[in-house]
Amino acid sequence: MDPDTHNNGHIPTTDKNGHVSWDADTEDHGHIPIIDFSPYSLLKEAVDQEELSPLATQLVQAFSTVGFVYLRNHGIPADLVSRTFESSNKFFELPEELKEKFSLPLERAMSHGWLHLERERVTTKRPPGIKECFDVRPQVATEKLPTFLQLWPSEDVPEFQQRSLLLYDKCRQLSLRILELMARGLNIQDMSSLLSMHSMMGTGPNGSLMRPLRYPPVPDQIKDNQIRCGEHTDYGSITLLFQDNVPGLEVQSCEGKYVPAPPIPNTVVVNIGDLMQRWTADKLVSTMHRVLLPKTEAGLKRHRRSIAFFVHPNEDTVIASLDGSNKYPSIKAGRYLDDRLTATYGGKS
């Protein structure tokens, strides 16, 4: 997060008409709320509009304080998540020389393809993280690339592409519903405009991507101060995260202490990104988080897996304070993302 845009947010109060006020003081809940998303689940055929306002208020309250929530009953099939974990794990278990075929050049970092161990350094205070990942961006995967670049491991893991694209689309759909509820909770009059600014996820100039990750067993020799993923905030609008059953994720509380965000079956973790905090003039908060090393001998020998879905606005979207305060200078979403990628990878999207 930009140092000049980070704070702990505000907690909203709601009057009898359902309007949100942002004048209340910050409050530390000390935990990540678990919210029942069933009123707007992807499986919901007939949506009751009256049920959406309380849900929107819950989301905004959580995003304005903790910055994180767990959503249950979200409608993304658990079996699809499980099968995507399975196929991505098959890819990560391939020999290094095979995975290298899907590694994109540095200038295309955070585009589409494999990022090797210790490729990403999210903080200058620690060495690169002990993790590898495969970034999935469907629109990039249809580009004409040099013949030496391969996009999908179809020969070695034939099911990887189909499962990844199916989960990507489910995450896209859920993200739009979450963004709509956030707009409701923030009393944004033109909700359709906010959604249209994310309309090209997976189809056009838009930085959104899905990222299966694997944290391998911890080597006997590691660098000083190295962990699985260093302290950081996410860049964009919101992030969705599916975890396997191995703990490690920690989230910074309003008091500045890191608290565990353990895996909860059949939930998805959702958090605010830096751009959304800037967009909402600090009403919603992008929270620091990290993935620690296991504390037991058995834990050090185990893999940890997760699947993140990073949501970004369309690249030509002008990010200006939604409340009209002009708290931060306007900037195009694509330029903002490129600046952040340059800092992390030295490359662009």
Q: Report the distance separating Cα 182 and Cα 278, nearest Å.
A: 15
pLDDT of res. 16: 37
pLDDT at 42 over 80: yes
Closest by CA to 346, choosing from 105, 2, 114, 131, is 105
Q: For residue 229, what are the contacts with CB-CB under 8 A and spacing of at least 6?
A: 122, 129, 131, 215, 290, 291
How many alpha carbons lie under 13 Å from residue 126 in its C-beta half-sphere?
21
Closest by CA to 198, choosing from 280, 311, 40, 319, is 311
pLDDT at 346 over 70: no
Structure tokens at 135: 């970034």
pLDDT above 70 covers a percentage of the chain that reads: 86
Evaluate whether 197 touches 317 at the Cβ level (below 8 Å): yes
pTM of the entire predicted model: 0.88
**DSSP letters spanning 179-247:** HHHHHHHTT-S-HHHHHHTTTTTTTSSB--EEEEEEEPPPPSS--TT--SEEEE--SSSEEEEEE-S--
Compute CA distances 69 → 33, 97, 208, 261, 270, whole Å: 5, 39, 20, 10, 5
**DSSP letters spanning 322-346:** TTS---S--EEHHHHHHHHHHHHTS
Which pLDDT tens digit goes with each residue over 319-329? 999 999 999 99
> Residue holding tokens 């490129």?
338
In total, the chain counts a number of residues equal to 349
Evaluate whether 151 touches 102 at the Cβ level (below 8 Å): yes
Closest by CA to 303, choosing from 209, 219, 210, is 219
Q: For residue 25, what are the contacts with CB-CB under 8 A and spacing of at least 6?
A: 10, 11
Task: Residue 293: count other Cβ atoms within 10 Å of its Cβ.
Answer: 14
Q: Report the distance separating Cα 349 and Cα 335, nearest Å.
A: 10
Which pLDDT tens digit goes with each residue over 171-195? 999 999 999 999 999 999 888 999 9
Strand partners, 133: 115, 213
Between 22-26, 68-72, 276-280, 337-341, the lowest mean confidence (pLDDT) is in: 22-26
Angle at 309 (CA atoms; ends 200, 208), nearest 5 degrees: 30
> Residue holding tokens 């009256």?
50
pLDDT at 109 over 80: no
Average pLDDT of every residue of the chain? 87
pLDDT of res. 148: 56
Residue 36: pLDDT band (50, 70, 90) is very high
Residue 28: pLDDT band (50, 70, 90) is very low
Which pLDDT tens digit goes with each residue over 129-160? 999 999 999 988 766 666 556 789 999 999 99
